[in-house]
DNA sequence: AATGAATGAGATTTCATTCAT
DNA sequence: TATGAATGAAATCTCATTCAT
């Protein structure tokens, strides 16, 4: 076998792992299979990752970073209207999920907690969402008594749940409808301004 | 009949499985361990369940039935006001989760999809919630253009996500605050009546 | 073979065992399955047979006895011509095999040696055949230097091999052709009279 | 390459399997025992054979090939006389059986059908024998109405039966006597030429 | 005598990991 | 660095056998 360049090897292992994890689930996949699919020896696998969970985690961290970047970019491009911003962020993530369904599933689906026994679970932070909500409250655009921490977490659960359900079978909904529904249920829209606001 | 039929072996296996699944996760638990904890032989395990996933599924079905019953009971006891009903339903589930944290986690958490390779995933139906929302629409109490199917699913994802997060560390929130936040974000409250409603 | 009395537990176990052994082979069958098929409890199985091999042996002994009886009867009915007698004996066994294929297979086929680890293998004696050959030699009808012991065993191997092969797929040959070929190769015909005899 | 590839693990597994199968029978032997006797880990066993039946089959195929080769060689060395050729072929197999009793037993004895549930049974073809008989018929040296297919199969059953019986206890007969008896009962000799032949 | 739930030793099989090359 | 044959601990599952009823 040709000697792959180090970085190349790691990339190939990540790609092979992503395919296999998405298709079969973490449990049904083993390091030998990942190495084989990457056309590398098992030994090479262990030279790059301590075990399959380490590879999974690497995949998840990458995906999380990519999603974070997509949200940031979308917000940078969006106008000042709060609901426009909410919508832009959701749309960005939905586009990401559609473009990288395996990565999204492996990061947020069945595999999300697969590495639990091998280290902390990788997950999206609810902080940015909470911060945005807090700002709306400060501006009087959101009910002041809403617990923004809880609301942010709740929203994220909802977003993830819906995108995962959609990816299982894309005919279940249109991306636009999904984004619309999620926007409407977003705390910024939902737990709207105080009475009369 | 045969040997003093260890008073309901099946019940003991279910109880042992629940403890172990909740504590260690499906992957770290094996049939031997479950049988041992139930103080039964391995063979007895296999006489009752085809494998650990069958036991897990039985546990999940039970929990789902119990939650359904709790919601039904709560609604039967609640008044006619829509938001009262929403709140009653949420509160009932939160109480169930608090009273049976292992069962709730094993049904909706990490273990939810553990049996995926062994049969369909057991999950709560979004139909009752969707039906309730549809009724509110019919009565003009909910924006007519909301996609109630999507909204119902989205709400359920949120509820589950929050309760799971809460159970991980109950000091993170008060049950009342949780119920309050979930109620506020429930489609019935959130995607409220059209302007002026 | 003897008519099993349907209500006798032992008979029912034998019948069930015969069906299962013939269909699945000794290895794939267990005492629980036999008892179940006989519509009896496992305990009842053990009250009658020490294990599945004991049942198998009983089946084989029965079959052997029935075949012996069929040969004796056929010879009693046959005329004095040596080749007529050979043919009659072969035909009798072929008829038995056709009428009781499971019993024949279970006695001489795959299952023949299945109980080897649990006691001596049950097999047909070559003595009667050897004795008949010896008599032919005494009458000068068979080459005097033929080793009748070996020849008798050899013949029996051949007969069993052919009948088993035939039972696997009865379209492979006609019973008459089979009997004819076996008769021609029988030592009494084959290793015929001394030169010029 | 990898770790000092234990000089042909596969060869050692085959040898170990042969010893154990011959001594104890397929049922009493397990993959652990074979690996242990070959001084290899169990995993190595499974890296080479899918299960003990695959190893058994490999052993049987080898033996069959060796016997075929021995017959071919013996016939190449033999003169043109039909009975000399028959005798030469039988003698070659008898010598093989004597030299490799375990292989012969494992191929034709109890173990012959042990792998039946795991694939087709390996067995010696009766074609060459049938072809040889047909040729004798063509040359008028064998009764024209003998069914050569049946006769060939019948002969092979006989040969195998006798060699197996002999190997069980070699004092039962001399190799020469065995070969002599088998030759005399071989269809080529037995169902000889029509009257006057 | 008949029952059949319970048992647990043992067989089968997988797979993370090592290490000589 | 890369390799991949070898490893063996551990999980899964079967089934002959027991024995209280």
What is the tens place of the pLDDT at every residue in A51-102?
A: 999 999 999 999 999 999 999 999 999 999 999 999 999 999 999 999 999 9
What is the per-residue pLDDT across D136-190, written as a single tens digit (0 to 9) for each? Answer: 999 999 999 999 999 999 999 999 999 999 999 999 999 999 999 999 999 999 7
Q: What is the mean pLDDT of residues D68-85?
A: 96
| Binary contact (C151, D177; C-beta < 8 A) | no
D42 is near strand F: CB distance < 7 Å: yes
Residues in C whose CB is inside 8 Å of some CB of D read: 25, 27-28, 109-110, 113, 116-117, 143, 146-147, 150-151, 153-158, 160-162, 165, 173, 177-178, 180-182, 184-185, 187, 189-192
**Strand F positions with any atom < 7 Å from protein CB?**
1-21
CA distance D25 to chain C (A): 9
Above pLDDT 90, what percent of chain B? Answer: 87
State the nucleotide closest to A35 in CA–C1' terms.
F4
| Closest residue by C-alpha to C1' distance, nucleotide F14 | B43
What is the per-residue pLDDT across C43-78, written as a single tens digit (0 to 9) for each? Answer: 999 999 999 999 999 999 999 999 999 999 999 999
Residue A156 · residue A86 · CB < 8 Å? no
What is the per-residue pLDDT across A127-155, written as a single tens digit (0 to 9) for each? Answer: 999 999 999 999 999 999 999 999 999 99
In this predicted structure, what is the pLDDT of residue A190? Answer: 75
**DSSP codes, C11-29:** HHHHHHHHHHHHHH-GGG-
| Binary contact (B158, A162; C-beta < 8 A) | no
pLDDT higher than threshold 60 for residue B196: no
CA distance D80 to chain C (A): 22
Return the H-helix or E-strand segment holding C190.
Answer: helix C187-190
CA dist B15 and D87 (Å) reads: 74
Class of domain A62-190: mainly alpha
| Cβ atoms within 10 Å, residue B114 | 26
| Binary contact (A158, B158; C-beta < 8 A) | yes
Per-residue exposure over B123-143, b if at least 16 CB sit within 10 Å of its own CB, e if not? ebebebbbebbeebbeeebbb
In this predicted structure, what is the pLDDT of residue C116? Answer: 87
State the nucleotide closest to B10 in CA–C1' terms.
E5
Q: What is the mean pLDDT of residues A175-195?
A: 87
What is the per-residue pLDDT across C18-51, written as a single tens digit (0 to 9) for each? Answer: 999 999 999 899 999 999 999 999 999 999 999 9
Helix/strand/coil (H/E/C) assignment for every residue in chain D: CCCCCCCCHHHHHHHHHHHHHHHHCHHHCCHHHHHHHCCCCHHHHHHHCCCHHHHHHHHHHHHHHHHHHHHHHHHHHCCCCHHHHHHHHHHHHHHHHHHCHHHHHHHHCHHHHCCHHHCCCCCCCCHHHHHHHHHHHHCCCCCCCCCHHHHHHHHHHHHHHHHHHHHHCHHHCCHHHHHHHHHHHCHHHHCCCCCCC
In this predicted structure, what is the pLDDT of residue D6? Answer: 55
D5 is near strand F: CB distance < 7 Å: yes
pLDDT higher than threshold 50 for residue B20: yes
In chain A, list all ranges with CATH 1.10.357.10.
62-190
The D 45-64 residues near strand F by Cβ under 7 Å are 46-48
CA dist B160 and B152 (Å) reads: 12
Give the nearest chain A residue to B113 (CA atoms).
Answer: A110
Return the H-helix or E-strand segment holding C163.
Answer: helix C148-168
pLDDT higher than threshold 90 for residue B191: no
CA distance D6 to chain C (A): 34
Return the H-helix or E-strand segment holding B90.
Answer: helix B82-99
What is the per-residue pLDDT across C111-155, written as a single tens digit (0 to 9) for each? Answer: 999 888 888 898 999 999 999 999 999 999 999 999 999 999 999
Confidence category of residue B111, pLDDT binned at 50, 70, 90: very high
In this predicted structure, what is the pLDDT of residue A194? Answer: 58
Angstrom distances, CA of residue C90 to CA of C73, C78, C97: 12, 12, 11
Q: Which two tokens stand for residue B17?
A: 């499985």
| Closest residue by C-alpha to C1' distance, nucleotide E20 | D3
| Cβ atoms within 10 Å, residue D24 | 13
In this predicted structure, what is the pLDDT of residue A43? Answer: 95
Angstrom distances, CA of residue B94 to CA of A114, A187, B101, C48: 26, 20, 10, 59
In this predicted structure, what is the pLDDT of residue D193? Answer: 67
Helix/strand/coil (H/E/C) assignment for every residue in chain A: CCCCCHHHHHHHHHHHHHHHHHHHCHHHCCHHHHHHHCCCCHHHHHHHCCCHHHHHHHHHHHHHHHHHHHHHHHHHHCCCCHHHHHHHHHHHHHHHHHHCHHHHHHHHCHHHHCCHHHCCCCCCCCHHHHHHHHHHHHCCCCCCCCCHHHHHHHHHHHHHHHHHHHHHCHHHCCHHHHHHHHHHHCHHHHCCCCCCC
D36 is near strand F: CB distance < 7 Å: no
In this predicted structure, what is the pLDDT of residue D7? Answer: 61
What is the per-residue pLDDT across D77-125, written as a single tens digit (0 to 9) for each? Answer: 999 999 999 999 999 999 999 999 999 999 999 999 998 888 889 899 9
Q: What is the largest CA-CA distance in chain A?
A: 71
CA dist A20 and A37 (Å) reads: 9
| Binary contact (D158, C155; C-beta < 8 A) | yes
**Strand E positions with any atom < 7 Å from protein CB?**
1-21
| Spacing of D166 CA from F16 C1' in Å | 35
| Cβ atoms within 10 Å, residue C117 | 12
Confidence category of residue B4, pLDDT binned at 50, 70, 90: very low
User: Which own/partner contact pairs does A2-6 have at CB distance under 8 Å and 24+ positions apart?
Assistant: A4/A40
Angstrom distances, CA of residue B37 to CA of B21, B29, B100, C36, D14: 12, 11, 19, 31, 42
What is the per-residue pLDDT across C172-185, written as a single tens digit (0 to 9) for each? Answer: 999 999 999 999 99
Residue B67 · residue B124 · CB < 8 Å? yes
Q: Which of D23, D126, D144, D190 is the best residue to mutate to test the C interface, defined by the most C CB atoms within 10 Å of its own CB? A: D190
B3 is near strand F: CB distance < 7 Å: yes
- Give the side-chain half-sphere CA count within 13 A for A136: 31
Residues in A whose CB is inside 8 Å of some CB of B read: 25, 27-28, 109-110, 113, 116-117, 143, 146-147, 150-151, 153-158, 160-162, 165, 173, 177-178, 180-182, 184-185, 187, 189-192
Picking from C91, C52, C58, C59, the residue whose alpha carbon sits closest to that of residue C74 is C91
The B 9-68 residues near strand F by Cβ under 7 Å are 30-32, 42-43, 46-47, 51-52
| Binary contact (C185, D28; C-beta < 8 A) | no
CA dist A130 and A150 (Å) reads: 8
Q: Out of C153, C165, C181, name the one closest to residue D147 (CB).
A: C181
Q: Out of C146, C162, C185, name the one closest to residue D191 (CB).
A: C185
CA dist B79 and B134 (Å) reads: 19
CA dist A145 and B34 (Å) reads: 47
Residue C125 · residue D132 · CB < 8 Å? no
Picking from D156, D153, D143, D147, the residue whose alpha carbon sits closest to that of residue D190 is D143
In this predicted structure, what is the pLDDT of residue D1? Answer: 41
CA D10 to chain centre: 22
CATH 1.10.10.60 fits A1-49, yes or no: yes
CA distance B8 to chain A (A): 32
D197 is near strand F: CB distance < 7 Å: no
In this predicted structure, what is the pLDDT of residue B197? Answer: 39
In chain B, list all ranges with CATH 1.10.10.60.
1-49
In chain B, list all ranges with CATH 1.10.357.10.
60-190
In this predicted structure, what is the pLDDT of residue D20? Answer: 96
| Binary contact (B190, A178; C-beta < 8 A) | no
Identify the CATH number of the domain defined by range B60-190. Answer: 1.10.357.10
What is the per-residue pLDDT across B116-175, written as a single tens digit (0 to 9) for each? Answer: 888 899 999 999 999 999 999 999 999 999 999 999 999 999 999 999 999 999 999 999
Give the nearest chain C residue to D174 (CA atoms).
Answer: C150
| Binary contact (C27, D117; C-beta < 8 A) | yes
Q: Which of C108, C123, C142, C153 is the best residue to mutate to test the D interface, defined by the most D CB atoms within 10 Å of its own CB? A: C153
Q: Which CATH architecture has domain C73-190?
A: Orthogonal Bundle (1.10)
In this predicted structure, what is the pLDDT of residue D74? Answer: 98
CA B8 to chain centre: 25
CA distance B73 to chain A (A): 25
């Amino acid at each position: 076998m040709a000697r792959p360049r180090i970085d190349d090897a790691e990339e190939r292992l990540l790609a092979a792992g992503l395919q296999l994890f998405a298709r079969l689930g973490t449990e049904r996949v083993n390091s030998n299979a990942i190495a084989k699919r990457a056309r590398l020896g098992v030994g090479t696998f262990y030279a790059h990752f301590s075990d399959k969970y380490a590879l999974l985690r690497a995949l998840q961290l990458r995906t999380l970073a990519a999603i974070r970047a997509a949200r940031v970019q979308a917000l940078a491009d969006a106008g000042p209207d709060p609901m426009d911003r909410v919508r832009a962020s959701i749309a960005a993530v939905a586009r990401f999920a559609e473009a990288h369904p395996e990565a999204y599933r492996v990061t947020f689906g069945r595999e999300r907690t697969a590495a639990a026994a091998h280290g902390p679970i990788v997950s999206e932070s609810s902080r940015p969402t909470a911060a945005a909500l807090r700002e709306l409250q400060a501006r009087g655009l959101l009910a002041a008594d809403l617990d923004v921490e809880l609301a942010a977490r709740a929203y994220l659960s909802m977003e993830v749940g819906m995108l995962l359900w959609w990816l299982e079978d894309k005919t279940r909904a249109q991306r636009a409808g999904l984004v619309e529904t999620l926007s409407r249920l977003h705390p910024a829209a939902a737990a709207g301004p105080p009475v009369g606001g």
